[in-house]
């Protein structure tokens, strides 16, 4: 029997046990290209998206341009979901223009450029971007932070244009960029996981680590952003080896952040450390400070930004989120946030989207045009459009639930008033069958979002004792998004699905008695969708629908007839 030895360290109680190796087992909780547009006012969101076209890069270095690329990458899938394909294509065209400029070292005359390029330094075994920022060249700092934004942009272009991402096209240079900060083992040009420390379980940001307190990392959330983007790129390019590595990085860093930055279980930080968050974690100390002269909000939000489809981990521990928000509010003295208000609203929406919406509505439209010199309301790497979409969608989807997993990397599950809401994105061009760990099954169309509408698990093996019959006679089902009618034709039943918003497709899933589930594409006529099910007399009928609405794919709950 092995005996544990406990040592008190700056990272809490360290367990020591004699042995030659150990394993860690953590649960991956999924990421998305963006949240689905759920519950949004399409006209209002469209207006915000068009406003964002007037935004511009706040600098031409690897970090400031990177933040701009990240901003456009968040906007493009939101525009696609609204059916504004041309606007989404405009955002991606700008992403592609910047990427292709930076990913080649020569200009139109085939001369070596002096800026907007990446240069391989053989002495240091690293790829340096010029213009550099925050010591990314002279100290090899922050490569995962900066380059992660470029990978985000590439993943968004590849999401709709996989040919661009082929290795003999631009994908080869994107993979080169990834190898610099997240190379696999035995890479001949780059060290294994340059910025990540497997022993500590998280990244370090400084390349030289020459401080008395060792290495450090401030923006843990930008590390998570980088690993999210590796997952999205790997999905878009079907790179299983990179996907496995990226999921390890994402999941392990998430665990370390919850322990060492947030201390969600209140077990790590000593009693003398009073803030609810460690803003900068060092090898030998912890700081509630930033690398610049910041206010109360920035000391928290630097570990929240950027908000994106892989940031839902911030809401996995709602009690902690509430404590952190209340501590920030007390420090600030009110909900009149001095800076980066939309970051606080977006964080608040993880546990109280109603309050977040109230705060947002009071101030968001005071921000009339992009002003990087005034970030009181909108942080310069984000937009009104994404802020509105994030908060409104969370209000519709509910509280993120990390306990239900799926057999696809790009998914999320939410709890809305006790009902599970399932979300997935399929990067494949063909439909893909998805299984969630609680038994819920879905077929996701190619290059599409899937969003369920309540209910969890597979259909019941026997009909409920009191089947749901919302209409007066059990033949009419009305919901906010659709109306369903069931008509009898001798022994057959004709189901009609009428969406309130035009749908590109509607699929019917049904079972007779306890038989196998049938999945059929319904037939459309003048905005209504029909299907006849033969020989239903004296049998129980259980059914649900999958339908498209403004881009995402939704799923109804199960119904029963008679």
Catalytic (active-site) positions? 142, 218, 222
Q: How far apart are CA 310 and CA 73, in angstroms?
A: 13
Helices 220-237 and 240-256: angle between axes, nearest 10 degrees: 160
To 10 degrees, the CA torsion angle through 221, 225, 230, 236? 150
Does residue 175 contact residue 189 with C-beta atoms inside 8 Å?
Answer: no
Helices 384-397 and 353-363: angle between axes, nearest 10 degrees: 150
Cis, peptide link before residue 344, omega less than 30° from 0: no
Does residue 36 contact residue 393 with C-beta atoms inside 8 Å?
Answer: yes
Does residue 482 contact residue 497 with C-beta atoms inside 8 Å?
Answer: yes
Does residue 555 contact residue 549 with C-beta atoms inside 8 Å?
Answer: no
554: left (phi over 0), alpha (psi -120 to 50) or beta: beta
What are φ and ψ of residue 24, in 5° steps?
Answer: -115, 145
Give the residue from 548, 340, 544, 541 showing the smallest Cα distance to 456: 544
Q: How far apart are CA 42 and CA 361, in angstroms?
A: 16
């Amino acid at each position: 029997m092995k005996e544990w030895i406990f040592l008190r360290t700056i990272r809490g109680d360290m367990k020591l046990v004699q042995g030659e190796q150990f394993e860690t087992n953590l649960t991956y909780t999924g990421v998305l290209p963006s949240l689905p547009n759920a519950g949004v006012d399409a006209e209002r969101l469209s207006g915000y998206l068009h406003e964002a076209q007037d935004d511009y890069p706040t600098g031409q270095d690897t970090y400031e341009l990177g933040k701009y690329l990240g901003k456009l990458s968040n906007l493009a899938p939101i525009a696609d979901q609204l059916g504004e394909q041309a606007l989404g294509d405009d955002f991606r065209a700008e992403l592609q223009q910047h990427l292709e400029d930076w990913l080649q070292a020569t200009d139109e005359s085939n001369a070596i450029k002096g800026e907007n390029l990446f240069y391989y330094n053989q002495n240091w075994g690293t790829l340096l971007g010029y213009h550099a920022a925050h010591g990314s060249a002279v100290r090899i700092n922050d490569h995962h932070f900066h380059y992660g934004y470029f990978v985000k942009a590439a993943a968004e272009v590849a999401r709709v244009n996989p040919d661009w991402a082929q290795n003999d096209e631009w994908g080869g240079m994107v993979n080169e960029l990834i190898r610099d900060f997240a190379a696999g083992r035995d890479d001949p040009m780059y060290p294994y996981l340059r910025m990540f420390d497997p022993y500590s379980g998280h990244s370090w940001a400084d390349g030289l680590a020459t401080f008395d307190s060792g290495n450090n990392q401030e923006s843990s959330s930008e590390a998570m952003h980088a690993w999210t983007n590796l997952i999205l790129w790997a999905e878009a390019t079907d790179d299983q080896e990179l996907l496995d590595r990226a999921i390890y990085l994402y999941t392990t860093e998430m665990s370390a952040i919850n322990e060492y930055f947030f201390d969600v279980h209140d077990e790590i930080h000593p009693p003398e450390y009073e803030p609810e968050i460690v803003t900068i974690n060092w090898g030998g100390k912890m700081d509630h400070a930033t690398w610049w002269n910041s206010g109360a909000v920035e000391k928290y939000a630097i570990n929240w930004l950027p908000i994106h489809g892989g940031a839902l981990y911030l809401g996995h521990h709602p009690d902690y989120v509430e404590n952190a928000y209340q501590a920030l509010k007390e420090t600030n003295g009110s909900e009149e946030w001095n800076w980066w208000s939309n970051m606080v609203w977006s964080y608040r929406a993880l546990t109280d989207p109603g309050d977040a919406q109230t705060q947002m509505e009071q101030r968001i439209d005071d921000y009339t045009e992009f002003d990087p010199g005034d970030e009181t309301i909108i942080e310069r790497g984000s937009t009104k459009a994404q802020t509105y979409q994030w908060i409104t969608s969370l209000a519709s989807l509910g509280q993120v639930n990390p306990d239900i997993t799926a057999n696809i990397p790009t998914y999320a599950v939410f709890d809305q008033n006790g009902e599970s809401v399932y979300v997935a994105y399929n990067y494949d061009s063909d439909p893909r069958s998805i299984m969630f760990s609680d038994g819920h099954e879905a077929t996701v169309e190619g290059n599409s979002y899937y969003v369920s509408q309540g209910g969890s698990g597979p259909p019941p093996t026997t009909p409920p004792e009191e089947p749901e019959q919302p209409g007066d006679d059990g033949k009419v089902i009305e919901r906010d998004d659709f109306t369903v009618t069931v008509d009898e034709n001798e022994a057959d039943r004709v189901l009609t699905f009428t969406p309130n918003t035009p749908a590109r497709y509607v699929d019917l899933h049904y079972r007779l008695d306890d038989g196998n589930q049938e999945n059929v594409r319904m037939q459309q006529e003048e905005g209504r969708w029909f299907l006849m099910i033969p020989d239903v007399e004296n049998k129980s009928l259980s059914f649900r629908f999958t339908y498209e609405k403004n881009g995402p794919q939704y799923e109804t709950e199960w119904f029963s007839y008679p």
